[in-house]
Structure 1
Amino acid sequence: MELYNYIKSLHLIFVVTWFAGLFYIVRLFVYHAEAKQKPQPEQDILIKQYQLMQYRLWYIISWPSAVLASLFAFWMLFFTEVGQVWLNQPWMHVKLAFVFLLYLYHLKCHQIFKQLQSNDVKHSSNFFRIWNEGATIILFAVVFLVILKNAINWVFGVVGIITFSMVLMLGFKLYKKIRAKNNS
């Protein structure tokens, strides 16, 4: 059981760093998209700096954390007695579905990262602000599932975070309108 707790601890540490990387990379995407609107030479200076920050974050923190979190998760699930029991429970099936969504989210972030490394900005900063909520929703769903160990109660947590995200976006839109009105 002691080995299991070490594996679980390492898994949690790398899940935290993985999510930190995902949250921050999308924030850098926001800044990169906004830098495209700046005049020269400011635009070139900012974009070069954001590309370097994105590169280091993505390959030094985000990818290694994703890989290590996954390795420790597989170890827990397939090579421990507790993991074998959990694999037969419905809440774990739902959790694994959200983890699969997290992998898809990560891969889409990688695609965006590669575009931005070529300075090919296909999305607005507002898109990236909304995109950043995807990882938040997945995080809430997974945490509620793991803590409550119930395949149904996670719905309340996800609905809550979606509602909270919508309120934040409405607040953001209101702030933009007020700022635009004050600037004119």
Structure 2
Amino acid sequence: MAYAIFFLKALHVVGFVSWFAGLFYLGRILVYDEEAAGQPEPEKGILKRQYQIMEWRVYRIICNPAMMITWGAGLAMLALGWISDRLPNYLSMGTPGWMHLKLLLLAGLTAYHLWTKGIIRRMQAGERIFNSWQYRLLNELPTLFLITISYTAVYGKAGSLNYGYLFGGLALFAGFIFWAARAYKKRRDRLEKEA
């Protein structure tokens, strides 16, 4: 059974790395798709068609399978730990509540994942939901999930998770990302006006 837990743990890591890679790439394509809407024809039609193909491929071929692998391997590890007295029971080890928080964060990431599917459909129907800067901000949401889930897992399992530090640090990092995105937008707007 110990080999099963190592296999599942490695599979879980492969799953979430692939899932986040897909979500980061998908977010970037959404930015480009929105920017293509402002181009003159025929460039607009060509670019929009290509980005929509890319969005669906990333969503269906990378994001969906990776999400399923992440959830499947993670839940299998929890189940093995729960039924075996020789394997770690992640629900009862470390900082109280850390696994519950991790599962809640994963549910939030899954909701974000499914929300992007709705965005792709609405963009394909010709609806302009956000501007490119807002899509850039949306693309940073997986980063916040990645950081929070990683720190929760590492420190929670070790029994040294401080929820105040976790969420305080997350709020500071989110503020920094927003500040950096605004600075980038101002610089980009200035360069466009000068051109």
Task: State the match for 1:171 in structure 2.
Answer: 183
Q: By how many angstroms is 1:36 displaced? A: 0.5
CA distance in 2, matches of 1:43, 1:104: 30
Query: What is aligned with 1:53?
Result: 54
CA RMSD across the alignment: 1.9
Alignment map for 1:99-178 (pairs within 5 Å): 99-149=106-156, 150-152=161-163, 153-178=165-190
Q: Is the 8 A contact 1:30 1:128 kept in 2?
A: yes
TM-score, length of structure 1 as denominator length: 0.91
Asked whether the equivalents of residues 77 and 86 of structure 1 are also in contact (C-alpha less than 8 Å), the reply is no
TM-score by length of 2: 0.86
Q: Deviations over 1:84-132 (max 9, x none)?
A: 4349831212222211111111111111022223333322111111111
Name the counterpart of 2:43.
Answer: 42
The structure-2 alpha-carbon separation of the partners of 1:87 and 1:62, relative to structure 1 and needing over 3 Å to count, comes to: farther
CA distance in 1, matches of 2:139, 2:122: 17
Q: Which amino acid aligns with 1:104?
A: A
Cα distance in 2 between the residues matched to 1:87 and 1:40? 58
1:90 paired residue among 67, 81, 97: 97
Give yes or no for contact 1:21–1:61 (8 Å, CA) kept in 2: yes
Stretch deviating more after TM superposition (140-149 or 32-41):
140-149
Distance 1:178 1:95 in 2: 41
What residue is the counterpart of 1:32 in the other structure? 33
For residues 2-81 of structure 1, the aligned pairs below 5 Å read 2-80=3-81, 81=87
Structure 1: segments with no counterpart, 5+ residues: none
Q: What amino acid does structure 2 have at the position aligned with 1:15?
A: F
Identity of aligned residues (%): 28
Give the secondary structure class of the aligned counterpart of 1:85. Answer: coil
Give yes or no for contact 2:8–2:77 (8 Å, CA) kept in 1.
yes
| 3-state SS of paired residue (1:40) | coil
Deviation of the 1:30 alpha carbon: 0.6
Q: Aligned partner of 2:194: which letter?
A: N
Higher helix share: 1
8 Å CA contact 2:5–2:77 kept in 1: the answer is yes
Could you tell me whether the CA contact under 8 Å between 1:18 and 1:65 is conserved in 2?
Answer: yes
